[in-house]
Amino acid sequence: MGVMPWYLEALRAVVGTIVIFSGVAVVAAMFGVLLERKISGWMQSRIGPTHVGPRGLLQTVADTIKLLQKEYIVPQNADAAIFASAVVIVPLAALLDYVVLPFGATRWGPLIFRDLNIGVLYFAATSSLIVVGILMAGWGSNNKYALLGGLRSAAQMVSYEIPIGLVLITISLLAGSLSTVTIVNMQTHLWFVVSQPISFLIFLTAATAEVNRAPFDLVEAESELVAGYFSEYTGMRFALFQLGEYGEMFAMAALAVTLFLGGWHGPALPSVVWFLIKLYALVFVFMWVRWTYPRFRIDQLLGFSWKVLIPVALLNLVVTAYFVTGAHR
């Protein structure tokens, strides 16, 4: 690591934050919402948004401008401090994930904000902070639906963090490193999805639950809980929660690409293009699943994590560890 004066480091951090924030806001949240609406329309034999811009491309931009103009409403008897600070935590935790995601490779090295030697652990740590924000939003709103959504989310995200953690350990064991760049470089010849198909399935399932999407979207089950923990939020605050949700979904998809699909590696096309192709393919899978399967019940959901995913992930870890130690002998 090159030694820079601290104020240059601080400046770099500020610039990086702005770049990540605007990048995620445009690429993940705005385009993601549009994609979601288009794909859901397509799967339900509708057209989806068409009026704003060519083929409805600018619909989310229009929606965002509309949300910016709206009034902030704080419910009576809500805890104003908690209510307002929850809005910051959810998108912030989602955006922090992007620090360790490698988007491609240039001739000067991988395109990554910072290749931490604990990259995978860092990702798990920052994404675990989202639950705090969701719980705060649910409780601070002083609304029973929001509170129920927040509590469900805590139970769900804490349960599904464990299989994700076990998968992260398995892959790090295989790659011999916690750094995301090293993990990608280990997959030059063979993607880990080939050698670890079970891990890949566990990761996709748990990631769907971790980002609160159908069939695991009990946190914001529209038919039971209005909109769950963010029922009471309006205007830009609502938009920030959406940013957090879609930002986290894209981050999970990007991590899956990094861990299992060889990251930026691919023939002919530039590395960033390969990364985006794989990323959007996985995002499409998330959306496809959401509009295909009905919602689980909360006890089924928690039971599935504790009784199926965790034992299988543990077994997978032990078997992988056996082969890895065998190979080292």
Partner 1 sequence: MSGEAIAFYVLAAIILASGIVVVSSPNLVHSAVALVPALLGVTGVYILLNAEFLAGIQVLIYAGGITVLILFVIMLTEGGTGLRVRQRNEQAPIAAAVAAAVAALFVALAGRTPWAQGAGTLPSYTPGAIGQSFLGPNLLLFESTSVVLLVTLVGAIMIARKEDDA
CB of 122 to partner 1, least distance (A): 5
Contact between 54 and partner 1 per CB under 8 A: no
CB of 126 to partner 1, least distance (A): 7
| Contact pick of 6, 69, 268, 327 for partner 1 (by CB under 8 A) | 6
Contact between 269 and partner 1 per CB under 8 A: no
Contact between 81 and partner 1 per CB under 8 A: yes
Q: How far apart are CA 256 and CA 154, in angstroms?
A: 23
Omega within 30 of 0 (cis) for the link into 215: yes
- The residues, any chain, with a CB within 8 Å of residue 127's CB and separated by 6 or more, are 93, 94, 97, 210, 248, 251, 252
Residue type, 323: F
Q: How far apart are CA 310 and CA 159, in angstroms?
A: 9
| Contact pick of 61, 62, 67, 82 for partner 1 (by CB under 8 A) | 82
Contact between 151 and partner 1 per CB under 8 A: yes
Nearest to 178 by CA among 250, 249, 238, 255: 255
Contact between 281 and partner 1 per CB under 8 A: no
Contact between 218 and partner 1 per CB under 8 A: no
Contact between 267 and partner 1 per CB under 8 A: no
3-state secondary structure 263-289: CCCCCCCCHHHHHHHHHHHHHHHHHHH
| Contact pick of 26, 111, 129, 227 for partner 1 (by CB under 8 A) | 129
Residue type, 53: G
Contact between 121 and partner 1 per CB under 8 A: yes
Q: Decide: 129 and 210 in contact? Cβ < 8 Å.
A: no
CB of 195 to partner 1, least distance (A): 22
Q: How far apart are CA 229 and CA 121, in angstroms?
A: 27
CB of 94 to partner 1, least distance (A): 13
By the criterion CB under 8 A, which residues form the site for partner 1?
5-7, 9-10, 79, 81-82, 85, 116-118, 121-122, 124-126, 128-129, 131-132, 135-136, 139, 147, 150-151, 154-155, 158, 161, 178
